[in-house]
A and B are shown apart, each in its own frame.
Chain A
């Protein structure tokens, strides 16, 4: 039997029982639409995060103390590790050691609250170079100025605060020139950042930046750093620069050839790869959970196809009497099953696109950032492929039942 007639016959049968067909494919529709939605949100999140990380620059390199974390508990260890010191910064700054570095700034993290005249807020406080933060995240002051190298060298008690910190502590008052209290020390606010929201792992609005020298000496009383942030000359030399940094720090820390590093180096590209992998695994996991609904949908299709085979037993007998082979009957019912699931898949894709659009709008509003609508073609093609596969897998049994019927018994069926 020609393929065109197989599809025409199947289409007629599906259309004749359109309400039943629609209800049958509901499981497939929901399954495919959900997978499309999950993939779309996953891709949207990936794009958003990667854009923000990308904003930090593919030439950014970060060195952290301690062993590279392999689990959540290891992250705490890096906070207490004291292997990165002034001598390391000095060694890294030497052009003979790391020739392709253009910028190097250490940083420390200060925990605790900040207060102003009885108002208290818990910001993320960094001892850092505020100029580097401004360049890296493209965030600029709306009030006042940024502190510079002079203030860092002088261990000055100055701070630049984020928009949310300003709002919580000062309300509508101007904050510049006023003192904010951090760990019982007063810091004069020299600048307030514009509202910027989340950037990579940092919410600039909830941040206070003070000179890292001041944070080390007056707030924490430590001589080491929590990280050293660097920029290579270009993304192309990052790999070589990482090797140079490692060699420099191993020499500086007197680590023997066979010894393990007491620091670890992260690049933006490495981070991008890690995040892509994590989001990919999460998307695949969620999709496979949702795929269970496709199995349920497939069972529904099989059930209805078995009903259809029973209802059309006489038709099967007639077709066989008129010359249809077992293969013709098998193909006819298999095509009908595939047509059902494929229709479900296509409706599901359409539903998934609409849901993804709605989700991107809702997320743009709730997250407060532009959540781009992403719908990869591969997901749509996969959905079509899976729908066809479900039709074939769950249609083969009823189709076989139909094809094995004896013509005369089928013709006698009442």
Chain B
């Protein structure tokens, strides 16, 4: 069943009198439980596509449908509610609250949810446990390593049990060992049935997915399935 459906989606940015077409005529569907990488060089429009797909921005052209409803059907408050309940985000620069502890960071989406407050602690602990950071639960995020910070960000993305996790260059600020650890967790999430949309410019990271959509100059250049045999070769190469 299609969770995400894009038909000729485009995005034009207006800066003063200057128009920039960051994305054009993107058409594809992503089914629930799929793991899709969006690849492309810098400026290819992959982050713009993720922002539109993640309801962080609206497309200016075409039609984008999530859960069977087009983005235009949602008010800004409804978009916020969908982001909170159905989507999880992992950013390249972690975006943790430095003065807050691991568990406080992980609880953050619950503050804006309709989940009963009594359940927050249990849900947050479970999410932290799932990324293997139970021993760091009371630490301030500023005291963690880069890899640990990204794992906290993944736990935060998972805490509300979303349908889809958007990961924007999650290994971009990490060394290869931490990067592999983070990708292992993301791959594991996919095995548990989560839909994963991964933005990356690295081929070996993209190949964790089942499918790779490649962008160039704001257009979809390629949309292909990943062969299982090349996957293992690339991962071996990274190690």
Interface of A with B (CB < 8 Å)?
Answer: 1-2, 5, 12, 16, 314-315, 317-328, 406-408, 411
Residue of B95, B117, B160 near A411 (CB, 8 A) is B95
Q: Which residue of chain B has the shortest Cβ distance to A407 in the bound complex?
A: B56
Q: Which residues of the partner chain B approach A318 to less than 8 Å between Cβ atoms?
A: 95, 97, 108
> Roughly how many angstroms separate A314 CA and B57 CA in the complex, as a whole number?
16
* Cβ–Cβ < 8 Å partners of B108 in chain A: 318-319, 322
How far, in whole Å, are A67 and B83 apart by their CA atoms in the complex?
Answer: 80
A7-B209 Cα distance, complex, nearest whole Å:
42
8 contacts between A and B (CB under 8 A): A1-B112, A322-B89, A323-B109, A323-B112, A323-B113, A325-B76, A406-B57, A407-B57
In the assembled complex, the Cα of A5 lies from the Cα of B112 at a distance in Å of 10
Measured between alpha carbons, how far is A5 from B108 in the docked complex, in Å?
A: 10
Interface residues as binary, B197-218 with A (CB distance below 8 Å gives 1, 0 otherwise):
0000000000000000000000
Determine whether the beta carbon of A16 is less than 8 Å from that of B111. Answer: no
**Any A CB within 8 A of the CB of B225:** no
Q: How far is the CA of A330 from the CA of B113 in the complex (A)?
A: 17
Report chain B residues within 8 Å CB of A16: 99
Query: Which of B113-163 touch A at CB < 8 Å?
Result: 113, 117, 156, 160
Q: Does B84 count as interface, using CB distance less than 8 angstroms?
A: yes
Q: A322-B108, A323-B81, A325-B76 are in contact. List 5 more A-B contacts (CB 8 A).
A: A12-B99, A321-B89, A322-B84, A323-B80, A325-B77
In the complex, whether B231 has a CB less than 8 A from a CB of chain A is no
Measured CB to CB, the nearest residue on chain A to B54 is A321
With beta carbons under 8 angstroms apart, the residue of B81, B85, B111 that contacts A1 is B111
Residues of B near A327 (CB, < 8 A) are 77
Whether B117 lies near A2 (C-beta < 8 A) is: yes
Q: How many A-B residue pairs have CB under 8 A?
A: 61
Q: Judge if B35 is at the interface, Cβ distance under 8 Å.
A: no
Q: Contacts A407-B56, A408-B56; is A325 near B95 (CB within 8 Å)?
A: no
In the bound complex, CA of A325 to CA of B55 (Å): 13
Counting chain A CB atoms within 10 Å of each CB, which of B57, B80, B89 scores highest? B80
Known A2-B111, A12-B99, A408-B51: A326·B76 in contact at CB below 8 Å: yes
CB-CB under 8 A from A411, the residues of chain B are 56, 91, 95
- CB B151 to nearest CB in A, in angstroms, measures 17
B43 to chain A: closest CB distance in Å? 14
Question: Main secondary structure on chain A at its contact with chain B?
Answer: helix
- B99 proximity list for chain A (CB < 8 A): 12, 16
Q: Which residues of B contact A (CB under 8 A)?
A: 51, 54, 56-57, 76-77, 80-81, 83-85, 89, 91, 95, 97, 99-100, 108-109, 111-113, 117, 156, 160
- Residues on A with beta carbons closer than 8 Å to the beta carbon of B109: 322-323
Asked if B112 and A328 sit within 8 Å, CB to CB, the answer is yes
A2 to B80 CA separation, bound complex (whole angstroms): 16
Q: Roughly how many angstroms separate A319 CA and B84 CA in the complex, as a whole number?
A: 10
Residues from chain B with a CB closer than 8 A to the CB of A408 are: 51, 56-57
Query: How far apart sit A325 and B84, CA to CA, in the bound complex (Å)?
Result: 10
Query: Contacts A1-B112, A321-B56, A408-B56: A326 and B95 contacting too (C-beta < 8 A)?
Result: no
- Give the complex CA separation of A408 and B49 in angstroms: 12
Contacts of B97 in A (CB 8 A): 315, 318
Complex CA–CA separation, A327 to B112 (angstroms): 11
User: Given that A314-B95, A411-B95 are contacting pairs, would A323 and B156 also be in contact in the complex, using a CB cutoff of 8 Å?
Assistant: no
The listed residue with most A CB atoms (<10 A of its CB), out of B56, B81, B113, B156, is B56
For residue B57, which residues in chain A have a CB less than 8 angstroms away from its CB?
Answer: 406-408
Cα distance A383–B81 in the bound complex, in angstroms: 39
- Establish whether residues A325 and B80, one from each chain, have CB atoms under 8 Å apart when the complex forms: yes
Chain A residues whose C-beta falls within 8 Å of the C-beta of B83 in the assembled complex: 320-323
Q: Are A5 and B56 in contact (CB under 8 A)?
A: no
Q: Tell me, rounded to whole Å, the shortest Cβ–Cβ distance linking B197 to chain A.
A: 14
CA distance A2 to B117 in the complex (A): 9
Residues of A within 8 A of B117 (CB): 2
Residues of A within 8 A of B160 (CB): 323
- Chain B residues with Cβ below 8 Å from A314 are 95
Distance, CA A324 to CA B79, complexed state (A): 10
Whole-angstrom distance from the CB of A96 to the nearest CB of chain B?
82
- Lowest 5 A-B CB distances belong to which pairs? A323-B84, A323-B112, A322-B109, A325-B80, A408-B56
> In the assembly, what is the distance between CA of A1 and CA of B51, in Å?
24
Q: How far is the CA of A16 from the CA of B142 in the complex (A)?
A: 14
